[in-house]
Amino acid sequence: MDTTELQRTVAAMVRAPKGLLAADESPPTIAKRFASIGVESTEAHRRAWRQLLLTAPGLPETVSGVILYEETLGQQADDGTPFARVLEERGIVPGIKVDLGKVALANAPGDEITEGLDGLAKRLQRYREQGARFAKWRAVYNVSPTLPSRLAVKENAHALARYAAICQDEGFVPIVEPEVLIDGDHTIERCSEVSEQVLHAVFHALHRQRVVLECLLLKPSMVLPGKHGAKAPPTEVAQHTLAVLRRTVPAAVPGIFFLSGGQTPEEATANLDAINRLGAQPWVLSFSYARALQAPALDAWRGDPANVAAAQRALAHRARMNARAREGRYESAMESEAGR
């Protein structure tokens, strides 16, 4: 396989001090986010919101790539420029979520499996014409004393690896996203145990599918206690997270871009900062947040065109805080820069 183009895409995505913006919410998820601010999820509202995000002043300084939803890839800005071209012209790599969501895993009560492999190569060819250069596939793992089952760990790893192989074959850099969910009252140790099993299985499957590790990015969850228990301090999250990653992720992988997974925006920044304060690691450790980047902007926007500039400032501020965290140079006092 000629990996020249894949390497170029990876190099653009891992560039310091940037991270990724996930703006790929499926229709039910974006409807939920909009409902929280009293906005109806129409095509026009979704386009207006995504235009606000993608055209935010200052974004290219801290964001190297944006994960889009299929609908957005087919939409244009007010002046008729396709969104993928808007991003490219700003030096931001356009990406696309390609999984088709999760369903119950047969014969494994409580476990889920992500679908979307059938016809994936053909869809990628279309997305490529529309300007996308990287892709994302999310697998989720519910945590309990008995979940996820070995079957769920194995089958989701297999699907992630098949997806990654198909992506590379079509010239797309795959973002491999195994999310160990925060829902529940499990301990940080239980999350650590599950995360280690999951990542071990994922890299075993990637090896079996002959995926080029140098040309993929990992998007894992941080190792956290369940959301119904007490929160762990950033230093503890950082130590657990790095211990698991060092045991399971080969050094050939160029970058690890965390999801925020239910952390507040400030927590997601503080935890990323603590991870990067533990010293240089084999991989870039950055962010690929949806909620933790978008929440303050969504709150500022509330569907009112008069609030677009304020919302864009809120987004740029969060991205700047996370860019500092990527370098282990974030201080909570920097939060007062908001709105400047």
Which of the following is catalytic: 25, 155, 177, 196?
177
Concatenated DSSP letters for 145-180?
SSPSPHHHHHHHHHHHHHHHHHHHHTTPEEEEEEEE
| Least Cβ distance, residue 107 to ligand 13P (angstroms) | 26
CA 266 to chain centre: 17
Contact call for residues 256 and 220 (beta carbons, < 8 A): yes
| Least Cβ distance, residue 30 to ligand 13P (angstroms) | 12
Which of the following is catalytic: 5, 219, 335, 337?
219
Distance CA 267, CA 225 (A): 13
**4 Cβ contact partners less than 8 Å away, ≥ 6 residues apart:** none
| Least Cβ distance, residue 262 to ligand 13P (angstroms) | 7
| Least Cβ distance, residue 291 to ligand 13P (angstroms) | 3
Looking at the Cβ atoms of 80 and 261, the one nearer to ligand 13P is: 261
Looking at the Cβ atoms of 125 and 275, the one nearer to ligand 13P is: 275
Contact call for residues 162 and 114 (beta carbons, < 8 A): no
As given in the structure block, the two tokens for residue 282 are 């084999």
Between β-strands 102-104 and 112-114, what pairing exists: parallel, antiparallel or unpaired?
antiparallel
Contact positions vs ligand 13P (CB under 6 A): 22, 138, 177, 259-261, 289-292
Q: Does the annotation mark 219 as catalytic?
A: yes
What is Dmax (Cα atoms) for the chain?
54
Looking at the Cβ atoms of 150 and 228, the one nearer to ligand 13P is: 228
Looking at the Cβ atoms of 269 and 312, the one nearer to ligand 13P is: 269
Task: Please identify every residue annotated as catalytic.
Answer: 177, 219
